[in-house]
Amino acid sequence: MSQTGMDPDIFDQFIDQLERYVRERLIPAEKDVIANDKIPDDIVEEMKEMGLFGLTVPEEYGGAGLNTSQYAKVVNTMAYAAPAYRSIFSINVGMFNSAIKNGATDAQKAEWWPRIAEGAIACFGLTEPGSGSDSAAMQTTAKPDPDGNGWILNGTKRYITNAPHADVALIMARTEKDALPKNAHVSAFIVPMDTPGMSTGSPDKKMGQEGSHISDIMLDDVHVPGDALLGGETGQGFRFAMMSLDNGRISVGAAATGYARRALDSAVRYANERKAFGEPIANFQLIQQMLAESDMEIYAAEAMMRDVTERADRGENVIRKAAAFKVFASEMCGRVVDRVVQVYGGAGYLAEYDAERFFRDARIYRIYEGTTQILYLQIAKHMLREWAAENG
CATH of the domain at 32: 1.10.540.10
Q: What span, in angstroms and rounded, lies between the C-alpha atoms of 35 and 43?
A: 15
CATH of the domain at 364: 1.20.140.10
Instruction: Provide φ and ψ at 279, rounded to 5°.
Output: -150, 160
Q: Does residue 148 register a pLDDT over 60?
A: yes
Q: Do 362 and 311 fall within a single domain?
A: yes
Q: Does residue 2 register a pLDDT over 50?
A: no
Domain boundary residue, one of 234, 257, 292 = 234
Q: What span, in angstroms and rounded, lies between the C-alpha atoms of 89 and 36?
A: 19
Q: Does residue 253 register a pLDDT over 60?
A: yes
2 within domain boundaries: no
Tens-place pLDDT, residues 100-144: 888 899 999 999 999 999 989 999 998 888 876 676 778 999 999
Q: What span, in angstroms and rounded, lies between the C-alpha atoms of 54 and 66?
A: 9
Domain boundary residue, one of 168, 201, 234 = 234
Residue-averaged pLDDT of the chain:
91
**In contact, 330 and 376? CB cutoff 8 Å:** no
Q: What span, in angstroms and rounded, lies between the C-alpha atoms of 59 and 88?
A: 21
Q: Do 184 and 262 fall within a single domain?
A: no
365: Cβ–Cβ under 8 A, 6 or more apart, which residues?
A: 252, 255, 256, 259, 329, 330, 333, 334
Q: Do 188 and 246 fall within a single domain?
A: no
Q: Report the catalytic residues.
A: 369
Domain boundary residue, one of 196, 213, 234 = 234
Q: Does residue 296 register a pLDDT over 50?
A: yes
- The domain of 139 spans 123-234
Tens-place pLDDT, residues 163-209: 998 999 999 999 888 766 777 788 999 999 999 999 999 888 889 88
**In contact, 246 and 317? CB cutoff 8 Å:** no
15 within domain boundaries: yes
Q: Do 51 and 100 fall within a single domain?
A: yes
Mapping DSSP to helix (H, G, I), strand (E, B) and coil, where does residue 315 land?
coil
- Say what the pTM is: 0.91
Task: Provide the angle, in degrees to the nearest 10, between the axes of the packed helices 237-273 and 83-91.
Answer: 160
Q: Do 301 and 165 fall within a single domain?
A: no
Q: How many distinct structural domains can be found in the chain?
A: 3
Closest Cα partner for 62 from 35, 97, 31? 97
